[in-house]
Structure 1
Amino acid sequence: MTTTSAASRTATVRANGIDIHYLEAGSPDSSDLVLLHGGLVSTNPLWDETPLSYGTHLAALIDRFHVIAPDQRGCGRTRHTGDERVSMSLLADDVAALIGALGLDRPAVAGFSMGGMIATIMAIRHPGLAGAVVNDAGCDIFDPGSKSFPMLREVFGGGLDATEADPDAVEAAFDADPAMRGFLSLIKADHDSAGGPGYWKIMLQHFFQAARHWPGYGVDDFAGIDVPSLVLVGDRDELSPVEDCVRAYRHLPRGQLCVLPDTEHVITAAKVAAIVDFLGRTTSWS
C-alpha cells in the first residue's frame, strides 16, 4: 500500500482475474462507500480540479464514510488482461469481486455517469451485495433507443456503424472545441502516465467496447434492486436526461429521486451533499 496523504492511500487487490488499483480514504470504522468514477477518467489526482472527479469532494465524503474508489478495468492503473471484450456486465462483476476481496459488508455503491451505470448493473446482477445504490447521471444507457449510443459511436468511432474506437476521429472531434481539447489532454496525461506512451488509445478501445451499445438491461430490471437507491441528476444534463432518470426511478422498489437545478453533466458539491444526506437517512444501511 502507498500513502498519498494523511487522509488517503492507494493499494491493489486481486479480484475477478485482474489486479484492481484503488484509493482508500477515511476511517475503516465508518460505513463503507464504494465510489465509481465516470468514463474516460480515473482516480488520478490530476482530475481533482475538474468537475468530473469525486476526488474534488473527498474531504466531505471521508468525514462520514470509509471510501474505496477503484480504477475501472482498463482505466488508470487497473489493467485489462485476457481476450474478453470489456462490457458493462464485466465492469459490474469487477465491482462485486472487489467488494468480496476486501471483505466489505453490504457497502453503499455510488457512481457518476458510467460509474452510475456500473453501480446499477452490479446491483441487478448481484442482488443484496450492496446496502444502498446511487446512480448519478447514468440512466440513459438503460434505454435501448437512447441517442447516447449513436452519438458515442459518431464521436469515438468516427461513424454510426463503428465497432471499434477511432483515436484519430476522437482527436479531430475534441480539437474542434477548446474545452474538449483540454479534456483530451488530461485523458492522455492520465492514462499514458499509468500505462506508457499511447496507452490512452487502448483505454479508449475498452471504453468504446463497453459503452457503444445497450448493455442488455432496461429500467424493468430496476425492480430487482431491492435496496435503498438514489437517482441523482442535474436538470440541464444532456447526456443523462431528467426524463430517463425519472423513468428509472419509478421502477425502483425503494427509490428516491433528486434533480438539482441549473446543473449539467458534472459532479458538484450539491450532488455530493445529496449523496451524504441520502445515505445518512438510509438507516437500514447506515
Structure 2
Amino acid sequence: MNATLIHHDTHDTRPENARAGSRPGTGARWLASDALVLITRGLRHTLRSPDSMITSVALPIMLMLMFVYVFGGAIEGGIEHVAPVAYVDYVVPGVILLTAGFGAAITAINVTNDMSTGVIDRFRSLPIGNWIVVLGHVVASLARNLFATALVVGVALLIGFRPTASVLEWAAAIGAITLFVLMMTWVSVLFGLIAKTPDGASGFTFFVLFLPYVSSAFVPPETMPSVLHGFAEHQPVTPIIETVRGLLTGTPIGNSAWLAIAWCVGILVLVMPISGRLFRRRTTS
C-alpha cells in the first residue's frame, strides 16, 4: 500500500496548490484517487486477516443456530403471546445487527493499529488529507459488514427464515442496516482512537457488543424483569431491530423507525466531529 502511495506521489510534479484544486476538478479527482487507495488498503487488510472475518461471521451464525435449535423450542413457547411469528423469523434481525457489532469491533482494532505502529507518520509525509485515512477504514468496514450480513441472511434462509418483505421493504431494511453499520463503525473509530493498544480497543467495544443481548434481539423486552425491561425498551439497538424485523417479517413497527433514525443520526452527529478532532490531535502532536 505504501508503495502505491509513493508511486502516486512521485508522479505528481504539480505544485501543491494544484493538488488543492486551483484548477477546476483537479482537487476532487486527487481526493477521490487518494480515498480509493486508502479504501483498497482497508479491504486488503480484511483479505489478509481471514481469521478476523471468519470470527465476525461465525460467531453470530453460531449464536443464531444455538438460539434457534437449542433454546428455540422453549423460548418460542414462552413468547408466542407477544411475538406471533416463528422464532427463527424473530431472531434473525437481531443476529444481523449482532453481526454488524462484531464486524465494527475489527475497525476499532485496525484504527488502533494504525495509530500505534507509526504508519500515520508515513501518511503525514504524503500529500493526502488526514481525514481520508479514517474514510478508508469507514468504507472498508461498511463493505465488510454488509458482506458478512449477506452471509448470515443466506444461512438464515437455509434454516427456515422466511421474510415476507416486498422489494421496497427489503430496500428500506438494507438502508436501516447500513445506517446502523455506519453508526457502529464511527463509534468503533472513536474507540480505536482512544485506545492505546489493540487489546484496549477490543475491550472498549465490549459494552457496545453487549447491547443486542439486552434488547429485543432474542426475546421480547416484555418477558424481562422490570429493570431490564426498561433498559431494553429505551436503548438504541431495540428500535433498529424492531424496524428491520417489521420490514422483513411484517410485524408492527409503530414509531420504531423514527426512533431508529434518531438514535443513529444523533450518535453520528455526536461521534463524527469528536473522532475528527481526536484524530487531528493525535496526528499533530
TM-score by length of 1: 0.27
Which of the pair is proportionally richer in strand? Answer: 1
User: More relative contact order in 1 or in 2 (CA 8 Å, sep 6+)?
Assistant: 2
- Structure with the largest fraction of helix: 2
